[in-house]
Amino acid sequence: MSLQETIETMAVNAKKAARGLMSLSTNAKNGALARMADALKEKKEFIQTENEKDLTAGREKGLSSAMLDRLHLSDKVINSMVTGLHEVAALPDPVGEVTEMAKRPSGITVGRMRIPLGVVGMIYESRPNVTVDAAALCLKAGNAVLLRGGSEAIHSNLALAKLFQECLVKQNIDPAAVQVVAVTDREAVNALLSLEDYIDLIIPRGGEGLIRFVAQNSRIPVLKHYKGVCHVFVDKSADLEMATRIAVNAKVQRPGVCNSMECLLVHKDIADTFLPKVGAEFGRAGVELRGCPVSKSILPDAVAAQESDWGMEFLDLILAVKVVPDIKGAMDHIAEYGSQHTESIVTSDYSNAQRFLREVDASTVMINASTRFSDGGEFGLGAEIGISTTKLHAYGPMGLKELTTRKFIVYGEGEIRS
């Protein structure tokens, strides 16, 4: 079989499995998740032996220690997968929910029923725990999933999929509901992305390069975010203690993630008092500041910002700082350089708070809170399958519900159209 045929066969089987999953009981789905949690504990040695093959190969290939760390299925990571499985099992089942039922003038009663999407393709890099986390969410939402992880984690991913499939079989669920694509070159990704007749949604997770490649080449709808360039705007009326606390938390608490702040915007009327204050805190935290001319004149230690620093995702202890004339200037900057991820205003002015909330075009807009809260768990979605910064289907953190859709249902008594 050619590569294309191999992947197509997997997709055909996934679609067949998805038809069965559509009407599977919540108990059956939760049962499979609980079995997988048990299996991870019982077969930990097998998983870690397979994981060691990836780690050894990674060391030989000279992967960075950060990469090796992401690859490592330590006891702690395995325990967190077990916890994750129980948490997903505990979430309410979104499938089957019926809403908006209403009688129409013709006599028919029309409403909507929540249903699974069908087949989801996950394309991701390095972290093998994504294999289990994503499979669990897809299964709970009633979807079959095709998982295509990176070559560096192939032994781990195949071992985890084998375990998952054994649990599915014990639960009388078609094991094609969870499949790992064993072929790890780019051709396999291209093959997946062409199978629009079998796959309903592609979710890429990884570096911007991978995500752009997927978005450019997919015939299937893609839910994605390229990057997180989050701003905090400190308005004239801000409580400056609060603003300092939020700005430092947004930048420093975990700088390597997409919901950390990359650019601080400061109202010109308070720049003289606020910037030295927050600048001292950033100095203590080891943050490099790249300032516009005005902010540089107030913060002598700041580096002069280049044009390329606006809109830059540093993912590091580096922060762009800009003084703006007013809220409109802040919103204009965000419209030009933001990434539609998360934007926050610190203000005590009611009108400005509401205006920022309404007019800023981002998947999450905040008043007086750290951008670091932008997360499915923190927002109460229960679990997060990814974040979308495009507006179709889902915008922002995506949970179980975003892995479903709704169909129209009609109850009639023999009505015909006249």
Binding residues (CB under 8 A) for its own copies: these are 19, 22-23, 96, 102, 104, 106, 108, 110, 113, 115, 117-118, 200-201, 215-216, 219, 221, 223, 239, 242, 245-246, 249-250, 253, 335, 344, 355, 357-359, 361-370, 372-374, 378-380, 390-393, 395-397, 405-418
What's the rounded Cα separation, in Å, for the pair 346 and 235?
6
Q: Is the Cβ of residue 35 or residue 114 nearer to its own copies in the bound state?
A: 114
> Do 94 and 401 contact (CB within 8 A), yes or no?
yes
Q: How far is the CB of 195 from its own copies (least distance, A)?
A: 14
Q: Residue 137: what residue type?
A: L
Q: How far is the CB of 186 from its own copies (least distance, A)?
A: 19
Structure tokens at 39: 């299996």
Q: Is the Cβ of residue 42 or residue 378 nearer to its own copies in the bound state?
A: 378
Q: How far is the CB of 15 from its own copies (least distance, A)?
A: 10
Distances (CA, A) of 187 to 6, 64, 217, 291: 12, 25, 11, 44
CA nearest 258: which of 310, 207, 202?
A: 207
What residues contact 69, with CB distance under 8 A and at least 6 apart? none
How many CB atoms lie under 10 A from the CB of residue 30?
20
What's the rounded Cα separation, in Å, for the pair 352 and 345?
9
Q: Is the Cβ of residue 157 or residue 259 nearer to its own copies in the bound state?
A: 259
What's the rounded Cα separation, in Å, for the pair 190 and 195?
9
What residues contact 402, with CB distance under 8 A and at least 6 apart? 223, 385, 388, 393, 394
Structure tokens at 66: 């950060």
Q: Is the Cβ of residue 208 or residue 361 nearer to its own copies in the bound state?
A: 361
Structure tokens at 225: 């975010």
**DSSP secondary structure letters along 157-188:** HHHHHHHHHHHHHHTT--GGGEEE----SHHH
Q: Which residues pair with 323 in a beta bridge?
A: 266
Q: Is the Cβ of residue 162 or residue 372 nearer to its own copies in the bound state?
A: 372
Q: How far is the CB of 160 from its own copies (least distance, A)?
A: 27
Q: How far is the CB of 17 from its own copies (least distance, A)?
A: 13
Q: How far is the CB of 362 from its own copies (least distance, A)?
A: 7
Q: Is the Cβ of residue 124 or residue 226 nearer to its own copies in the bound state?
A: 226
Q: Is the Cβ of residue 242 or residue 294 nearer to its own copies in the bound state?
A: 242
> Do 144 and 175 contact (CB within 8 A), yes or no?
no
Token pair 């066969």 is found at: 9
Q: How far is the CB of 60 from its own copies (least distance, A)?
A: 38
DSSP-assigned letter for residue 237: T
Q: How far is the CB of 219 from its own copies (least distance, A)?
A: 7
Q: How far is the CB of 45 from its own copies (least distance, A)?
A: 35
Q: Is the Cβ of residue 303 or residue 367 nearer to its own copies in the bound state?
A: 367
Angle between helices 186-193 and 208-217 (to 10 degrees): 40
Q: How far is the CB of 14 from its own copies (least distance, A)?
A: 14
What's the rounded Cα separation, in Å, for the pair 408 and 414?
18
Q: Is the Cβ of residue 51 or residue 363 nearer to its own copies in the bound state?
A: 363
Q: Is the Cβ of residue 305 or residue 353 nearer to its own copies in the bound state?
A: 353
What's the rounded Cα separation, in Å, for the pair 243 and 275?
11
DSSP-assigned letter for residue 307: G
